[in-house]
Chain A
Amino acid sequence: MELRKTTVYQAVEAVLEGEVTAHQVIGKTIKNCSVLNEGLNIFTSIAGIDALEQAEAIDRKIQNGEKPPLAGIPVAVKDDLCYGVLPTSLGSAAFNEFMSPVTATVVERLMDAGAVVIGKTNLDDMGQGSTTLSSPTGPTVNPWQAERAAGSAGAAAVATGICMLAVESDSGGALRQGASHCGVVGLRPTTGRISRYGLNAHCSSFARVGVTAFSSENISGILDLVSGFDERDAATAVCRGGISEIIKNPGSEDMTIGYPVTAFDHLEPDLREIFEQVRDQLGSRGYRTKEIDLGLLREGLQAYYVLALAEASSNHARFDGIRFGKGRETDSLEEMYRQSRSEILGKEARRRSIFGTFLLSKGNYDRYYRQALKIWKLVRQHFEAAFNECDLLMLPVAKNLPRPLKEESSYLDQWSDDLFCAPVSLSGMPSLCVPAGQIDQFPIGMQLVGPPFSEKTLLAVGSTSGPRDMGEGPLSQ
């Protein structure tokens, strides 16, 4: 069974029908994983005997007549999501052997459904970034082009066919940019839809847990399993009484897809052309497309960084050396803080903590933080207004091709890669990244953004849009 060419539904059927055992699927996946990881640096840790035992337990359940809905599905989990069985590195060199007492709700729910965690995926320094370039263990290599970064390791794990699903965090766009750069599908859900309990968020206001898969269908198949109220994440209270899904049928005449023209002006002509083609294709498939106005992208990006850095300075304050990191004896408390934080936080995380501290400091709160809160609100209003004119809207994901591994880029350049993703994060609305086309061998993704709880509509549209055949796929070279 080749995972890339199989849907989750087919794979589960095969296991339930006894064509293949969960143990065989997982065993093969782990082997595959170790081989591919050598060159790509996708995983920070890879499951072993535990995963095989879980698979055996699933096989026994099946023999007993149970039908776990995700029986034997191999899943990759980003390493800022806690999982008690494997180390949770959080993107810190000091945490490479940290066994968390917590297991994230989303991981628990997937495992309850019969999925098996294959490994923890690589991430930027303390999970802060959309490239993996600042990872303490080095970047994840893009499976389509070994000279460039994958964007997110979970996307690489799916694109290479190692795993059928990846659960990943997305604050400013890491999940979406990874999906775009690796030619797979990634969903950032509506605020409160998927519990974030167990996620070491650097920015709690915008961090969401999402899912990456090879197709929209595969995400549709598991969305309900991971969605819904969790008393341990206050934001999920919106789902307490069930989720009011906005469901519209794709292809119907009355579905309008908004095209914010000015957003695409930020792109180079060749990239822009791809989106124009997609827009025309959507039109020819029976959607109405409509040019709409969507301002404040640049301001949204800036506001996102002000708020995200401020929160990071607070969220990461717990890494003070008292409970985590190497025990050390110092002459003063300040010295202990200095040494511990230098050990736990990498260069990017330190930069963000320092900036965040500055932004919240006396006088600066009003000058920057309060202004950013205002922009946040305005951006949300802009998106809400847009959905008075259309049902969904399309946006680019990345401004550029994936970052080259060898080329130094400034942190500001890297931050501005989030131009199209960060404002969507501010809006709180769901975004599905689907493949839109290719430039040379590089996949290019686009975002379909909808009003709150329109995920099922996004996935339905996502499954009909964009080129579905990406040729031979990654690693064909």
Chain B
Amino acid sequence: MKYEVVIGLEVHVELLTECKLFCSCPNRFASEPNVNTCPVCLGFPGAMPQMSREALQQALTASVALNCEVALYSYFDRKNYFYPDMPKGYQISQYYIPLGSKGFLEIEDNHGSLKKVGIGRVHMEEDAGKLVHEAGGGTAGRSSMVDYNRAGVPLIEIVTEPDLRSSEEARRYLEKLKSIMQYAGVSDCKMEEGSLRCDANVSLRMPGDQAFGVKTELKNMNSFRAVEKSLDHEIKRQAEILDSGEKVATQTLRWNEDKQETIVMRGKLEADGYRCFADSELAPIELTAEEVEQALQKLPEMAEERAQRFVEEYGLPEYDAGVLTASRCMADYFESCLNLYNKPKEVSNWVMGAFSAHLKNAGLEADQAFFSPEDMAELLKMIDEQVISGKIAKKVLDKVFESGKKPRQVVEEEGLLQISDQSELEAIVDQVIAENPDTVESYRGGKSKALGHMVGQVMKATRGKANPQLVNELLVKKIDG
């Protein structure tokens, strides 16, 4: 393509805190509407906001994790607009002075080298509630309801400089941002649950141009993949417009995941259309240089450092270390398993293999699965103790994922206990020898593969439960006699 792509992202991240930003309501998902509410987050007259120190601490951690300069003095503003999910008719946000600014994070660019993506600002704000629209097509009798459980949940908004040059870079930026936020313990960044939300600004220009082209804003992308796809779609659309000599219009577009296309939303207010001004019900946010320094010191290990440690401490191959640290909860899961069963490579194989495959199928994160580190350790111990074979262990893992039962319980209930009883196996071994005279012959003739075939037969007859080592020994003993 002859144009240079310019992308900037605005990401909202829900902070992991006990309480909402300005009241003591729990910051927790609730399926029943309007249970996590109080006069403050419902905007009742007379109820005044109190800033949560915990949320400030989280926002500070996020700012330093993103290499930002932290404002020692900042304050909250009100962003004024009417919408039913906003109880006060304004959103408390930081408009004039963001908590963090001039930060960056590093990604691989299109050519595989490291690239700094500038972060213009990180600011704190409160989330809005949710509208629940009654199903049904026609206008008549249609109604909408509001659930304020989410209203007042602490967010940070992270705004990049227009530094991204392709949809792929945008996706890599999001992956890196998610990893940093998760490792810093600031947010779980689950896009499908809305704890990470992303809007994208995109424009095209001729390479070498200093000025930016006219940008459009994309909204409503529900996955990193959707961000990438919607950007590709929009880049193509803008290129076609420019190719035909037309001008791109400033618009906000909504991504329609089902149709894989964008829809024009109604015009958006310019930033200064929100009539922002300082909220005088809240005290200014004052931090000391020491507090900022402490936040920096206390930053937990990030993905790269952890991978490095996995290689050095556990002797894992770099590949394993990379896969295991791709998300913090996976790395945490791995290390929790190790605490209970200290064979790093074995655990790594199981976590990266069968366990990850299940997570992927179910669309879950490591901390959401039924299969706990205790279960993993139990499973691996059963293999060691020859209670089950490795093959059966995979079946057990499947069952645990489905049912949530404990591995040992599954083994018992399903009768999957490994058969290590010699007399029981002998009968089957005798039978297999009797039924396969040709194979026995070729084994005697020096074809060692033939033995493997017979082991397989025994395993088949026992539905995989036979102790393979024992079967091997028995066969050799009986045939070689």
Residues of A within 8 A of B (CB): 81-82, 88, 90, 100-102, 104, 196-201, 204-205, 231-235, 237, 310-311, 313-314, 316-320, 322-323, 329, 331, 333, 337, 357, 360-362, 365, 369
Contacts and interface: CB of A to CB of B under 8 A. Distances in A.
Given A234-B283, A314-B89, 14 more contacts: A102-B47, A197-B48, A237-B283, A314-B78, A314-B90, A317-B80, A320-B89, A323-B43, A323-B44, A323-B87, A331-B139, A360-B80, A361-B273, A369-B277
Please list the 4 inter-chain residue pairs (A to B) with the smallest Cβ-Cβ separation, ordered nearest first: A317-B89, A360-B275, A200-B45, A234-B283
Contacts of B39: 100-102
Interface of B: 39, 42-51, 78, 80, 82, 84, 87-90, 139, 143, 146, 270, 272-273, 275-277, 279-283
Question: Majority SS of interface residues in chain A?
Answer: loop
A83 B88 CA distance: 20
A323 B90 CA distance: 15
Contacts of B279: 204
Nearest to B270: A362
A96 to B, nearest CB: 14
A317 B46 contact: no
A5 B279 CA distance: 44
A365 B88 contact: no
Contacts of A357: 275
A309 B183 CA distance: 46
Contact of A82 (B46, B78, B88, B270): B46
A360 to B, nearest CB: 4
Interface centre among A88, A333, A362 (most CB of B within 10 A): A362
Contacts of B87: 318, 322-323
Contacts of B146: 322
A318 B39 CA distance: 12
Contacts of A198: 46-47
Given A234-B51, A234-B282, A320-B84, A365 B45 contact: no
A365 B277 contact: yes
A235 B283 contact: yes
A225 to B, nearest CB: 20
Given A234-B51, A234-B282, A320-B89, A314 B277 contact: yes
Contacts of A237: 283
10 contacts: A100-B39, A102-B45, A197-B47, A232-B50, A234-B51, A234-B283, A314-B277, A322-B84, A322-B87, A323-B44
A317 B82 CA distance: 7
Contacts of A337: 82
Contacts of B45: 82, 88, 90, 100, 102, 200, 318
A310 B48 contact: no
Contacts of B50: 231-232, 234
Contacts of B282: 234
Contacts of B280: 204-205, 311
B46 A104 contact: yes
Nearest to B272: A362
A319 B44 CA distance: 9
